[in-house]
Amino acid sequence: MDKKELRRQGIQNLKSLSETQRAHLSKKISNHVIDTEWFHKADIIGVTVSKSFELDTSYLIHKAWETGKKVCVPKCYPNQNHHMKFFIITSFDQLERVYAGLLEPDPDQTVKIPGDQIDLLIVPGIWFDREGYRTGFGGGYYDRFLKDFKHVTISLAANSQILPAVPRDDYDMPVQHLVTEDGVLF
C-alpha cells in the first residue's frame, strides 16, 4: 500500500473514535507522559495543537502550563523548504487558523524560540511502529526537524495507531519513545 492510501486509512481510523473515546484516550495517554522523568525534567515542551480527529493535546498543554513549563508550538513554512519554527504560547488565544484546519502560533503575539532549546518534543503522527517510525500528514516537517534535534522525542499513540511496520524511506526519523493508553511502550 502506498503512503497516501495508508495516510487516508489512518485518518479514517482516527475519525472512527467517538468524541468520548478520543477524550478518554487523550487524557489517559497524556497522564502517562506527565508521569515520566522526561516530562518532569523538561522546562520547554514543543507540541502541536491537535486538530479535530487527532489525539487531543490540550490537556497536556494545560498541565505543562500548570506545572510552570513553557510550551512552544510549530509554525510551518511550506514555501521555505518545509521547515518549522517554534513559538512560545501562553494562551490558546495566540493561535491562528491556517491551512488544512491547523492552528499555528501568531508570530505577532508570540516569541520565537530556537529548536535546540526544546527539552521535550511531542511528535504528531497517524500511524506508528514499535521502533518509533511514523506516518504523518506528508509534509515531511518532522523528518526535517528531527534530523538535527538532540533532545527527547515522544509520540502519543492509541494502541489502534500501532502497526507491525510502517513504510520507511531514507529520510524518515523515528521518535525515541511511544506512549499509549497502557503506558510507556518504549
Ligand X SMILES: Nc1ncnc2c1ncn2[C@@H]1O[C@H](COP(=O)(O)OP(=O)(O)OP(=O)(O)O)[C@@H](O)[C@H]1O
Ligand Y SMILES: Nc1nc2c(c(=O)[nH]1)N(C=O)[C@@H](CNc1ccc(C(=O)N[C@@H](CCC(=O)O)C(=O)O)cc1)CN2
Binding positions for ligand Y, rule: CB under 6 A: 4, 48-51, 54, 74, 76, 99-100, 102, 124, 136-139, 141-142
Is residue 183 close enough to count as binding ligand X by CB under 6 A? no
**Among residues 140 and 184, whose Cβ is nearest to ligand Y?**
140
Looking at residue 126, the DSSP 8-state letter turns out to be S
Closest CB to ligand Y belongs to which residue? Answer: 139
**Among residues 53 and 137, whose Cβ is nearest to ligand X?**
137
**Residue 100's binding partner, choosing from ligand Y, ligand X, none, with beta-carbon cut-off 5 to 8 A by kind?**
ligand Y
Helix axes 58-66, 19-34, angle to 10 degrees: 40
Cα(9)–Cα(3) distance, integer angstroms:
10
**Shortest Cβ distance from residue 66 to ligand X (Å)?**
28
Here the cell at position 8 is 487516508
**Shortest Cβ distance from residue 90 to ligand X (Å)?**
26
Cα(136)–Cα(173) distance, integer angstroms:
11
Binding mask 133-162 for ligand X (x = CB under 6 A): --xxxxxxxxxx--x---------------
> Which member of 3, 28, 151, 177 binds ligand X (CB under 6 A)?
3
Q: Pick from 173, 90, 88: which is nearest to 135 by CA?
A: 173
C-alpha separations of 184 from 7, 31, 35 in Å: 24, 11, 10
Cα(155)–Cα(161) distance, integer angstroms:
11
Cell 511496520 locates to 165
Site of interaction with ligand X (CB under 6 A)? 3, 135-144, 147, 169, 171-172
